[in-house]
């Protein structure tokens, strides 16, 4: 299938490793130009060097997405580098190490507020893209934690903020439909990759890692590439009649009838 992504201008946050890196790799395969950001300078440099060596138009910067001024500056520079914007994938997240009230505030900043601020900044550029017939789109990377009432204590705040992100994405779908802009979100289940949260669990508590994998109907954890395939499809013109949707990528971990 031709996803019609050649020469599309794409921003993906948190693109140095894991799900974000897999999403960018997939866009690169489809011929897109890309921009990203990440906290770790070494991983980001390695990713950018790899893309550029293969002739990809790629831009990236190390930053903390909760620094709104630097985040906004990076976003503007990314759009300028790309010459516009057709697709915005809001992916970045980080593990919360705070406690008490500050833990909730940190979750709000990382797992909701920064997604919203960047998306609002993206809207004028996506409107320009729509006017040129480029089929612009948002895709937000959420989590099945957003719809689970019984989750691990360390994900209580995370799940609430991801639920807010789901609502925001759904609102954008209706708010921007008349402008020709689509908005969808994906809710991955446990995704295992080197250096990621579930990789850390695998090292610290192999039994727990195995139990969580067996919670899915497919009896295993997912991979970043499996999430990326879905995200890139939803962002592409091939999904032109899909907006306001939640695509679960959890191997059947959630046990419920879909209506």
Catalytic residue set: 158
3-state secondary structure 211-255: HHHHCCCCCCCECHHHHHHHHHHHHCHHHCCCCCCEEEECCCCCC
Q: How far apart are CA 156 and CA 12, in angstroms?
A: 26
Instruction: List the strands of the sheet with 9-13, edge to edge.
Output: 58-62, 33-38, 9-13, 87-90, 137-141, 182-188, 246-249
DSSP string, 20-39: HHHHHHHHHHTT-EEEEEES
Q: How far apart are CA 144 and CA 57, in angstroms?
A: 33
Q: Would you say 96 and 106 are in contact if contact means Cβ atoms under 8 Å apart?
A: yes
Q: Is 61 left (phi over 0), alpha (psi -120 to 50) or beta?
A: beta
Q: Would you say 5 and 242 are in contact if contact means Cβ atoms under 8 Å apart?
A: no
Place of tokens 């997604």: 115
């Amino acid at each position: 299938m031709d996803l019609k992504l050649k020469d599309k201008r794409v921003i993906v946050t948190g693109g140095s490793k894991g799900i974000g890196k897999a999403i960018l790799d997939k866009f690169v395969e489809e011929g897109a130009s890309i921009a990203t950001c990440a906290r770790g300078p070494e991983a980001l440099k390695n990713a950018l060097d790899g893309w550029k060596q293969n002739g990809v138009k790629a831009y990236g910067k190390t930053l903390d997405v909760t620094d709104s001024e630097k985040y906004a500056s990076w976003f503007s520079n990314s759009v300028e580098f790309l010459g516009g914007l057709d697709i915005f994938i809001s992916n970045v997240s980080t593990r919360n190490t705070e406690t008490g009230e500050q833990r909730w505030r940190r979750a709000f900043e990382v797992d909701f507020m920064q997604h919203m601020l960047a998306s609002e900044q993206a809207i004028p550029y996506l409107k320009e893209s729509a006017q040129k017939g480029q089929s612009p789109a948002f895709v937000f990377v959420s989590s099945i934690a957003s719809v689970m009432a019984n989750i691990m204590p360390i994900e209580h705040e995370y799940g609430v903020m991801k639920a807010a992100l789901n609502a925001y994405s759904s609102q954008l779908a209706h708010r921007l439909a008349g402008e020709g802009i689509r908005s969808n979100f994906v809710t991955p289940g446990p995704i295992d990759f080197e250096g990621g949260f579930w990789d850390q669990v695998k090292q610290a508590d192999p039994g727990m890692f195995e139990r969580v994998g067996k919670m899915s109907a497919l009896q295993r954890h997912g991979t970043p590439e499996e999430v990326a395939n879905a995200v890139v499809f939803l962002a592409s013109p091939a999904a032109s009649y899909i907006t306001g949707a939640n695509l679960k990528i959890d191997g059947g971990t959630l046990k419920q009838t879909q209506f």
